[in-house]
Amino acid sequence: MCGISYKLQSGVAAIFLSVGIIGCAGSGGSSLSDSQNEPQKMVADLAAARWEALTKGDFAKAYSYLSPGTREVMSLDLYRAKIRGGNWKKANVDSVSCELDQCKVLMAVEYSYRDIKSIETRVDENWLRREGKWWFVPIR
């Protein structure tokens, strides 16, 4: 009787294991597409947060999104001088496209200039993944 019970338990376990594997394989397609969309979502969130810091005049926070290599050659003071902010009203992520460890972001940025209260323009951005983190790399 024990031999039958063991065989029955083994068979039931094998069925559950098979169903589990098939279930994982079936959901693998959605997991794959989710993992493919993950960099786009992550970079879109980072780009939006960086621009939120810029529109609020928090240049130190915006500076923290720069790649370590960029920060090695550009001090916060130099960054502030190059940015010369204060005219940005808002910014939205228009699109994100990624290949491997690089994403291109297109931002829709609204700003004011002199007597013109609202101008919208598009700004291209480069984001790179290094050691598992995404960093903004200014276009030169």
Tallying the residues shown for the chain, one arrives at 140
Task: Compute the distance between CA of residue 52 and CA of residue 44 in angstroms, rounded to an integer.
Answer: 12
Task: Compute the distance between CA of residue 110 and CA of residue 44 in angstroms, rounded to an integer.
Answer: 17
Question: Cα 97–102–108 angle (5° rounding)?
Answer: 45
Among all chains, which residue has been given the structure tokens 């031999």?
3
For the ranges 26-30, 43-47, 83-87, 131-135, which has the lowest average pLDDT? 26-30
**Is-contact 128 135, C-beta < 8 A?**
yes
Q: What CATH number does domain 38-137 carry, 3.40.350.10, 3.10.450.50, 2.40.30.10, 1.10.150.530?
A: 3.10.450.50
- pTM beyond cutoff 0.75: no
Question: What residue type is assigned to position 26 of the chain?
Answer: G
| Residue 69, C-beta contacts closer than 8 angstroms, at least 6 positions apart | 137
pLDDT single digits (tens) 76-121: 999 999 987 668 889 999 999 999 999 999 999 999 888 778 888 9
Q: What is the pLDDT of residue 137?
A: 96
pLDDT single digits (tens) 49-84: 999 999 999 999 999 999 999 999 999 999 999 987
DSSP H stretches of helix in the chain: 2-55, 59-63, 68-73, 76-83
DSSP E strand boundaries for 63-115: 88-99, 102-113
**Is-contact 112 87, C-beta < 8 A?**
yes
pLDDT single digits (tens) 4-17: 443 434 443 333 33
**Alpha carbon distances (Å) from 139 to 5, 80, 87, 91:** 69, 16, 20, 18
